[in-house]
Structure 1
Amino acid sequence: MLEVIGAGFGRTGTFSLKAALETLGFGPCHHMLGMLEHPEEIPMWRRAAQGGPVDWEEVYRGYRSSVDWPGVRFWRDLVARYPKAKVILTVRDPQRWYDSARATIHRAAVDPAPAPTPVIRDMKTMSREVVWDGQFGGLFTDAEHAMRVFREHNEAVRREVDPERLLVFEIADGWEPLCRFLDVPVPDVPFPRSNDKDEFDSKLREHVTGAMTTTT
């Protein structure tokens, strides 16, 4: 059962938040990158993107928290389905967010080169359906449109989520506001500062290497 719902778009520090939540005991935390290791989840998210029925208990079986896409696309469903869960909206300057997203996760998603493994192929298909065609209507390369979607999303979360359930959070804020919001002690370790592009590249290499090893 989800106890924490991340409502911030990818490239707003979601991988750092994932690491922080797991350090605080709210793991495992669902994140797009995890599907490299759990490809069985991909069809469920594709079904959700296509408007099919979704069993959220099945989707999040074994998880205590969720951040990043694909979950953030369905934040309203999750907020309603888990009324006791707290909601964290990670935020960032819109222009810096757009520049980062376009140079990293969007570029990887639209790369025309053949996917090196079936899992990566399926993940790219799912991300297009959920994020690039779904969240952004196929217009992500229109910077003004994409940033408008970003701002309107953040405004909707602020407007629709009960303020007592919601933390608007910048990764630079560190442990104090996050731990106060979740009512847990501040850990005696530095706040995680993870770059999900680097982490993605690392996990991608591990996945491809593992796939090649099992087929040789």
Structure 2
Amino acid sequence: MKVIVAGLYKTGTKSMKDALEVLDYDVWDVAEQLNHVGGVEQWEALMTYNGDATPMLKEMLSNCEAVTDGPAAVLAVEIYKAFPTCKVILCVRDNEDVWFESYKRNRDTLNNNFLLRLMRYISPTVSRRFEIMRLANDVISSGRFVNPLSSIMTYDISPLLCKRAYNAHIAYVTQQVPQSNLLTFNVKQGWEPLCNFLGKEEPQVEFPHTNRNAGNATTSGVYRHAMFSSVKSVRNRVAMEVTMAVCVAFAVVVPMFFV
């Protein structure tokens, strides 16, 4: 492990993945974190563990060079304590209001996607991955990241509490990580401060700005990478679970028309 991107969701974490890959790092985003062999089981165990997480994190992340987004985003300090020689990049937005509006749009887009909400109920594979990300986001949204599919009521997230969580995260990372190992970074700053911090030559390409539109939330991040995974074995498992659910529903509903 060489680099930890410590920014919360919607602080440019997707851009950081692309930028670090340009700089030749092997980066684990949400897809890699959840879908490597044993990944889901490891994160489930970690999220419910009451003790020193260092040994678990060392085992989970020993084969990657950099992490960004995913469940790792809210555990940046714990990951740093497991890998204390790492460089930590604390991604931030222009201010808390800009961040909150982006985070809220992303959250609302996901909640308004009926297919994803339905898949949580008919596919155990999707449900387990979504539950990990729900736990991570509930830290920010005070338990209101997801509207239940079965509920006719919807509820919103609290601007006050979300902004408090955003600022508390920044303060905690800044307090816990030595300044020599920490870069507070806005992706608008581009290559120069990032490359200076990492000791890399500046690439002769434009700095990536990925996933600017929150409307992409359902085809990136949690939705595409963690749920309908690019990992073939996971994707096939989801397809099988959906097929079985459809067959069961068909077997239950069709006979009702002949009663």
Q: Compute the displacement of 1:105 (Å).
A: 4.2
* C-alpha distance after superposition, 1:23-76 (max 9, x if no partner): 11221x122243564473122112222125641122114210111231122222
Larger Rg: 2
How big is the shift at 1:18?
0.8
Q: AA paired with 2:166? A: F
The one-letter code sitting in structure 2 at the alignment partner of 1:120 is V
Q: Does 1:114 align with 2:115?
A: no
Residues 35 and 123, structure 1, Cα contact 8 Å, conserved in 2: no
- Please say if 1:5 is aligned against 2:4: yes
Tell me if structure 1 keeps the 8 A contact 2:90–2:170.
yes
- RMSD (Å), alpha carbons: 2.9
Cα separation, 1, equivalents of 2:41 and 2:70: 15
Does the CA-based 8 Å contact 2:90-2:184 persist in structure 1? yes
| Change in 2 beyond 3 A, CA 1:87/1:70 | same
| Structure 1 equivalent of residue 130 of structure 2 | 124
Bigger CA drift: 159-168 or 201-210? 201-210
Correspondence for 1:156 among 172, 176, 194: 172
Q: 1:87 to 1:122 in 2, by over 3 A?
A: same
- How far residue 118 of structure 1 moved from its aligned partner, in angstroms, is 3.4
CA contact (8 A) 2:34 2:40 kept: no
Q: TM-score, normalised by structure 1?
A: 0.84
Q: Distance in 1 between matches of 2:48 and 2:229?
A: 30
Hey, what's the Cα distance between the residues in 2 that align with 1:23 and 1:117? 35
CA offset at residue 211 of structure 1?
3.5
Helix, strand or coil: the match of 2:41? helix
The one-letter code sitting in structure 2 at the alignment partner of 1:62 is: N
The answer for unaligned runs of 5 or more in structure 2 is: 146-156, 244-259
> How do 1:47-126 residues align onto structure 2 when only pairs under 5 Å count?
47-52=45-50, 54=53, 55-92=56-93, 93-105=95-107, 107-108=109-110, 113-115=117-119, 117-126=123-132
Paired position in structure 2 for 1:165: 181
1:146 alignment partner in structure 2: 162
Deviation at 1:111, TM superposition (A): 6.0
8 A Cα contact 1:139 1:145, kept in partner: no
- The one-letter amino acid paired with 2:110 is A
Q: 1 CA distance for matches of 2:178 and 2:238?
A: 49
CA distance in 2, matches of 1:212, 1:47: 22
- For residue 137 of structure 1, what is the aligned residue in structure 2? 142
Quote how far apart the aligned CAs of 1:136 are. Answer: 4.1
Instruction: Tell me how far 1:150 sits from its aligned partner.
Output: 0.3
**Which deviations, in whole Å up to 9, do the C-alpha atoms of 1:120-178 show, x marking residues without a partner?**
2211111122221x444315611100101101111222222211111010111111110
TM-score (norm 2): 0.71
Q: Judging changes above 3 Å, is the alpha-carbon distance between structure 1 residues 64 and 35 closer, same or farther for their aligned structure 2 residues?
A: closer
Whether the 8 Å CA contact 2:126–2:238 is kept in 1: the answer is no
Whole-Å Cα distance in 2 between the matches of residues 91 and 48 of structure 1? 26
**Which residue identity lines up with residue 59 of structure 1 in the other structure?**
M
Alignment correspondent of 1:42: 40
Name 1:31's counterpart in structure 2.
Answer: 29
Aligned CA distance change for structure 1 residues 114 and 185 (closer, same or farther; 3 Å): same
Identity fraction in percent: 25
- The answer to whether the 8 A contact 2:92-2:185 is kept is yes
